[in-house]
């Protein structure tokens, strides 16, 4: 839909071209004998006005609601005519003009598009051109030459007025304009809203001119409701939700998103239309790790708790049913935006996000960016709301800024009367950038895949350091196993270091590859073989850091890899102490029961029990698990 451009009047005070037989200020004598200069207004303040424009040239009325904020240097006008609304946003500092009609937006350079605007252009005495709206006319403190006409028997709509005249030249009409400006007479009339400094307010502008064929035209702009101050919300200074203006001068880049984070997402959508009183709210938890290309999604459906794990390395989707404790694996063939949460935070796609301005969300000022996004099944816009710079997130450990607060997704729904917008609100809370536990992406409950429980050990003088930096050690272990075996992260599961008198026993599960997926061709037995080979030749090196970020390297005990076998739901084995060997005849017998426990939201449930012949060591178990039961 083409924007219906407005009949802008181009006015320049190019005096040499002014036809002084039509407009002449020289011999004007005020009819009241006074000498009053035209009221001036403080142009760094805020004003609003309603105006109605009628002309014998156009057979329709234009209604104008206009807002001017001299502090932000932004002007907004809403022009209504023939059932159409034209929104203009003039950002004077950015030299940017937006025209919006029928939800379509066009972007112009303010200084190069006078003819497109509903505004006037005037030349200042210094020769520069200025764009002036209906309201701006009065707020410009008319530096152009003008003459006081008087106040005697001068009324507009029954209001006693003082009038001034000025002569302007319109480039567009190639003709001289005679402009009569009427302000209330402060001696005889007070405005409804009486504010100091605005004793005399604008009431009407009358513009007369002749075209080339000597046709005479008169235009009246009636001003009502002139008010200092603005009733608009700050967010009305910016384009409305769902409107993308291609090619804007984007002032602000989107904030950076960390590589891994988690959040709680509340999706709210009305059932029928945006104004419907019924709708749905669903809450879920997302966890994204862009480095490992893993995504986790926890939600409830029909009373059942589900966890979905998406692995972008293999393009596999694991759907874990927490109630039945089963799992299905699907290949994500069509990675369309519909079921691809990774896309949500990928900001560098085209068309680019554009900065809109600020809006308030849940009482917080946010910076808003918009981009059109679409898929095969839908089209719409995404509007990301991030906390504005002034807001900080106070947490016990850190101060954070610019967190995402809302993704407003305006879905375009085709209807007989054009597209209807259906907004879906994705409210974000608990945005957490702290390190994600790698086992949050555990799929070991997917028992349809073969697996093997394994164990090896680390004996080192760094024992105490390992013990004190368990999380980093775990991550180092996973990385070492991944590097050696070349399997995807998701196939290394339930890894737990067990600390016992100078030796760390590493228990873990390797999962068979799913033949559905691509991107991970390593078979389980080959993975075990490479790991075994590496450990036999004492090449498996595990690196981790302590709290001061100091790096440590520890090698796995040569030949310590052994398989654990399953029996009655526990994985049991006996072995001889490697260091002491058989020679001492001393058997260090362990029975390690490996209870398979369901995953708990956000946490790993790997609980290990070590039962020793002489003494019982429970060790530093995974007490993170709130469902931990002290049963052995
Ligand atoms: C104009 O208004 C601004 C903001 O309200 C104020 O700071 C400034 O002093 C005013 N200027 C004049 C000349 O009154
Ligand atoms: C309008 O402003 C831009 C800078 O924003 C400038 O490059 C351009 O020359 C100006 N155009 C006119 C017609 O003054
Ligand atoms: C889990 O089992 C239930 C009952 O047998 C079945 O209805 C459901 O589809 C299964 N879910 C998955 C994810 O395999
Ligand atoms: C979304 O927009 C694209 C490009 O304009 C178009 O090709 C596609 O058909 C649209 N999809 C829908 C569902 O309207
Ligand atoms: C721990 O190991 C040391 C030798 O490394 C040994 O002397 C000590 O008896 C062991 N303690 C237990 C409780 O096994
Ligand atoms: C590791 O390799 C050795 C020697 O080839 C073999 O005896 C042992 O069974 C292997 N262990 C595992 C866990 O495959």
| Residue in 481, 534, 536, 559 to alter for ligand 6 test, most ligand atoms within 8 A of Cβ | 536
- Looking at residue 446, its pLDDT comes to 82
The residues, any chain, with a CB within 8 Å of residue 341's CB and separated by 6 or more, are 286, 288, 295, 297, 310
Entry field: residues in the chain: 632
- Looking at residue 591, its pLDDT comes to 32
Rounded to the nearest angstrom, the distance between the alpha carbon of 464 and the centre of ligand 5 is 15
* Spatial separation of the C-alpha atoms in residues 52 and 79, rounded to whole Å: 9
Work out the pLDDT band at 494, boundaries 50, 70, 90: confident
- Looking at residue 14, its pLDDT comes to 44
Query: What's the pLDDT tens digit per position in 532-567?
Result: 999 999 999 999 999 999 999 999 999 899 988 765
Residue 4 has pLDDT above 70, yes or no: no
Rounded to the nearest angstrom, the distance between the alpha carbon of 308 and the centre of ligand 2 is 53
Residue 457 has pLDDT above 70, yes or no: yes
Sequential DSSP letters for 562-587: EEEEEETTEEE-----TTTTTTT---
Query: What's the pLDDT tens digit per position in 355-365?
Result: 998 888 888 88
Residue 224 has pLDDT above 80, yes or no: yes
Work out the pLDDT band at 15, boundaries 50, 70, 90: very low
Which residues surround ligand 3 with Cβ inside 6 Å? Answer: 319, 321, 324, 326-328
- Cβ(93) – ligand 2 distance below 6 Å: no
User: According to CATH, where is 2.50.20.30 located in the chain?
Assistant: 260-432
- Cβ(249) – ligand 2 distance below 6 Å: no
Ligand minimally distant from the alpha carbon of residue 121: 2
The residues, any chain, with a CB within 8 Å of residue 569's CB and separated by 6 or more, are 595, 596
Q: Which of 225-234, 275-284, 430-439 has the highest mean pLDDT?
A: 275-284
| Residue in 300, 323, 326, 449 to alter for ligand 3 test, most ligand atoms within 8 A of Cβ | 326
Which residues surround ligand 4 with Cβ inside 6 Å? Answer: 374, 377-379
Query: What's the pLDDT tens digit per position in 161-199?
Result: 999 998 877 766 677 888 899 999 988 887 776 767 778
Work out the pLDDT band at 126, boundaries 50, 70, 90: low
| Residue in 508, 509, 532 to alter for ligand 6 test, most ligand atoms within 8 A of Cβ | 532
- Looking at residue 171, its pLDDT comes to 64
CA dist list (Å): 367 to 99, 242, 271, 411, 424? 21, 15, 28, 21, 18
Of the candidates 303, 571, 287, the residue with the CA atom closest to the CA atom of residue 436: 287
Write out the two tokens for 336.
């369309």
Answer with the residue of higher pLDDT: 74 or 41.
74
| Residue in 457, 501, 590 to alter for ligand 5 test, most ligand atoms within 8 A of Cβ | 501
Residue nearest to atom 1 of ligand 6 (CA): 532
The three-class DSSP label of residue 489 is helix
Rounded to the nearest angstrom, the distance between the alpha carbon of 256 and the centre of ligand 1 is 38
The three-class DSSP label of residue 56 is coil
Rounded to the nearest angstrom, the distance between the alpha carbon of 218 and the centre of ligand 2 is 33
Q: Are strands 279-289 and 294-301 parallel, antiparallel or unpaired?
A: antiparallel
What is the residue whose two structure tokens read 């608009």?
232
- Cβ(165) – ligand 6 distance below 6 Å: no
Each residue of 564-590: b (16+ CB within 10 Å) or e?
Answer: beeeeeebebeeeeeeeeeeeeeebeb
The answer to whether residues 517 and 331 touch, using CB atoms and an 8 Å cutoff, is yes
- Looking at residue 414, its pLDDT comes to 80
Dihedral sign for Cα atoms in the order 610, 613, 616, 617: negative
What does the pLDDT average to over 45-64? 82
The per-residue pLDDT of the chain, averaged, comes to 77
H or E element in which residue 373 lies:
strand 364-374
Work out the pLDDT band at 524, boundaries 50, 70, 90: very high
Write out the two tokens for 550.
């100091």
Q: Which of 118-122, 446-450, 623-627 has the highest mean pLDDT?
A: 446-450
Rounded percentage of the chain residues whose pLDDT exceeds 70: 77
Q: Which atom belonging to ligand 4 lies closest to the Cα atom of 412?
A: 14
- Looking at residue 525, its pLDDT comes to 93
* Spatial separation of the C-alpha atoms in residues 254 and 241, rounded to whole Å: 17
- Cβ(613) – ligand 2 distance below 6 Å: no
Q: Which of 183-197, 270-284, 295-309, 439-453 has the highest mean pLDDT?
A: 295-309
Answer with the residue of higher pLDDT: 279 or 220.
220
What does the pLDDT average to over 335-340? 62
Residue nearest to atom 6 of ligand 2 (CA): 111
- Looking at residue 629, its pLDDT comes to 33
The answer to whether residues 62 and 75 touch, using CB atoms and an 8 Å cutoff, is no
Q: Which atom belonging to ligand 2 lies closest to the Cα atom of 110?
A: 1
Which residues surround ligand 1 with Cβ inside 6 Å? Answer: 42, 44-45
Q: Does domain 15-232 have CATH number 2.30.30?
A: no
- Cβ(153) – ligand 5 distance below 6 Å: no
- Cβ(35) – ligand 5 distance below 6 Å: no
Work out the pLDDT band at 468, boundaries 50, 70, 90: very high
CATH topology of domain 260-432: outer membrane lipoprotein receptor (LolB), chain A (2.50.20)
Residue 122 has pLDDT above 80, yes or no: no
Dihedral sign for Cα atoms in the order 264, 270, 273, 277: negative
Rounded percentage of the chain residues whose pLDDT exceeds 90: 25
CA dist list (Å): 73 to 43, 45, 64, 117? 9, 9, 19, 17
Residue nearest to atom 10 of ligand 6 (CA): 532
Query: What's the pLDDT tens digit per position in 225-277?
Result: 888 777 777 777 788 888 999 988 877 889 988 888 989 989 888 876 656 67
Verdict on whether the full-model pTM lies above 0.85: no
Work out the pLDDT band at 43, boundaries 50, 70, 90: low
């Amino acid at each position: 839909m083409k924007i219906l451009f407005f009949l802008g009047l181009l006015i320049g005070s190019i005096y040499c071209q002014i036809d002084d037989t039509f407009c002449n200020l020289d011999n004007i004598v005020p009819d009241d004998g006074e000498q009053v200069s035209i009221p001036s207004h403080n142009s760094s303040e805020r004003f609003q006005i309603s105006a109605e424009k009628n002309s014998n040239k156009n057979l329709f009325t234009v209604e104008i609601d206009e807002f001017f904020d001299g502090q932000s240097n932004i002007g907004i006008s809403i022009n209504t005519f023939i059932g159409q609304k034209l929104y203009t946003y003039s950002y004077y500092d950015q030299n940017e003009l937006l025209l919006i009609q029928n939800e379509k937006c066009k972007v112009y350079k303010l200084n190069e598009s006078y003819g497109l605007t509903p505004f006037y252009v005037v030349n200042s005495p210094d020769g520069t051109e200025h764009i002036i709206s209906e309201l701006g006319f009065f707020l410009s403190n008319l530096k152009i030459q003008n003459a006081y006409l008087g106040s005697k028997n001068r009324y507009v709509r029954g209001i006693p007025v003082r009038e001034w005249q000025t002569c302007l030249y319109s480039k567009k009409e190639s003709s001289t304009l005679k402009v009569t400006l009427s302000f209330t007479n402060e001696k005889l009339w007070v405005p409804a809203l009486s504010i100091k400094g605005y004793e005399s307010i604008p009431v009407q502008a009358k513009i007369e001119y002749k075209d080339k064929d000597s046709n005479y035209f008169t235009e009246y702009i009636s001003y009502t409701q002139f008010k200092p101050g603005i009733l608009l919300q700050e967010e009305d200074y910016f384009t409305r939700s769902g409107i993308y203006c291609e090619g804007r001068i984007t002032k602000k880049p989107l904030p950076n998103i960390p590589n891994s984070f988690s959040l709680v997402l509340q999706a709210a959508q009305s059932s029928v239309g945006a104004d419907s009183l019924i709708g749905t709210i669903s809450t879920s938890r997302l966890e994204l790790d862009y480095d490992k290309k893993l995504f986790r999604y926890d939600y409830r459906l029909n009373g059942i708790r589900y966890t979905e794990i998406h692995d972008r390395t293999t393009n596999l989707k694991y759907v874990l049913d927490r109630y039945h404790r089963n799992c299905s694996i699907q290949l994500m063939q069509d990675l369309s935006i519909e079921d691809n949460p990774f896309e949500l935070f990928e900001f560098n796609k085209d068309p680019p996000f554009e900065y809109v301005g600020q809006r308030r969300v849940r009482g917080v000022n946010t910076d808003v960016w918009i981009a059109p996004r679409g898929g095969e099944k839908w089209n719409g816009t995404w509007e990301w709301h991030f906390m504005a710079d002034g807001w900080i997130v106070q947490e016990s450990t850190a101060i954070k800024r610019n967190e995402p607060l809302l993704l407003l997704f305006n879905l375009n729904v085709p209807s007989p009367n054009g597209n209807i917008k259906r907004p879906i609100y994705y409210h974000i809370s608990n945005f957490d950038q702290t390190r994600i536990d790698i086992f949050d992406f555990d799929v070991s409950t997917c028992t349809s895949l073969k697996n093997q429980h394994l164990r090896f050990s680390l004996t080192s003088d760094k024992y105490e350091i390992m013990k004190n930096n368990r999380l980093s050690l775990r991550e180092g272990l996973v990385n070492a196993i991944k590097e050696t075996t070349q399997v995807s992260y998701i196939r290394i599961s339930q890894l737990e270091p067990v600390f016992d008198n100078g030796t760390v026993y590493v228990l873990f599960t390797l999962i068979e590859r799913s033949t559905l997926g691509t991107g991970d061709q390593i078979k389980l037995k080959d993975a075990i073989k490479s790991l075994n080979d590496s450990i036999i030749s004492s090449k498996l090196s595990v690196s981790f850091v302590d709290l001061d970020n100091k790096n440590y390297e520890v090698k796995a005990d040569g030949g310590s890899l052994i398989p654990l076998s399953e029996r009655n739901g526990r994985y049991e084995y006996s072995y001889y102490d490697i260091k002491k060997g058989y020679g001492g005849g001393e058997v260090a017998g362990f029975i390690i029961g490996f209870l398979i426990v369901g995953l708990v939201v956000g946490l790993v449930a790997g609980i290990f029990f070590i039962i020793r012949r002489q003494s019982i060591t429970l060790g530093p178990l995974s007490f993170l698990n709130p469902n931990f039961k002290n049963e052995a």
